[in-house]
């Protein structure tokens, strides 16, 4: 059955481990990291000036669409900007891909999909 969600109807949260100024809304979450199956769909938003401090790596595939705003990739050691992205950027990160840290000067909204490959498939498309 089709479900229609309105983002403004959800309550944003800053889960433990998230850097200051970064919040999420989880839409679907069947991701089971023990059984290595399922999917998580969420929106993540950075407040203006927010940044992550360390790179990420996880054992599931990740696809990220930059819905609005800006995001910058930072050097892992100096935290200086090495690349910048704007609205419409789409990132595909297979399991095991190091990524980040990130910052956002004006703030941004990301749509993220995390998933484990279906048996017989390999990584994100």
The separation between the first and the last C-alpha atoms of the chain, rounded to the nearest angstrom, is 26
Torsion angles phi and psi, residue 24, rounded to 5: -135, 160
* Stated pTM of the model: 0.90
Q: Which CATH class is domain 21-115?
A: mainly beta
> In the beta sheet, which residues pair with residue 70?
86
**Which one, of 107, 19, 24, lies nearest residue 70 by Cα?**
107
Determine contact, residues 107/47, Cβ cutoff 8 Å: yes
pLDDT for position 110: 98
What are the residue ranges spanned by the domains of the chain?
21-115
Backbone angles phi and psi of 121, in degrees to 5 = -100, 160
Instruction: Per residue of the chain (125 residues), give pLDDT as tens.
Output: 998 988 889 999 998 889 999 999 999 999 999 999 999 999 999 999 999 999 999 999 999 999 999 999 999 999 999 999 999 999 999 999 999 999 999 999 999 999 998 765 555 54
- pLDDT value of position 118: 75
């Amino acid at each position: 059955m089709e479900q229609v969600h309105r983002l403004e109807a959800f309550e944003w949260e800053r889960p433990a481990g998230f850097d200051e100024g970064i919040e999420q809304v989880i839409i679907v979450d069947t991701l089971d990291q023990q059984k290595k199956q399922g999917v998580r769909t969420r929106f993540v938003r950075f407040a203006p000036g927010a940044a992550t401090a360390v790179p990420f790596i996880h054992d599931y595939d990740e696809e990220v669409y930059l819905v609005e705003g800006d995001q910058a990739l930072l050097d892992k050691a100096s935290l200086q900007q090495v690349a910048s992205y704007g609205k419409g950027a789409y990132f595909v990160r297979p399991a095991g891909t190091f990524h980040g840290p990130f910052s956002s000067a004006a703030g941004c909204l990301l749509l993220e999909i995390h998933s484990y490959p279906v048996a017989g498939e390999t990584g994100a498309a």
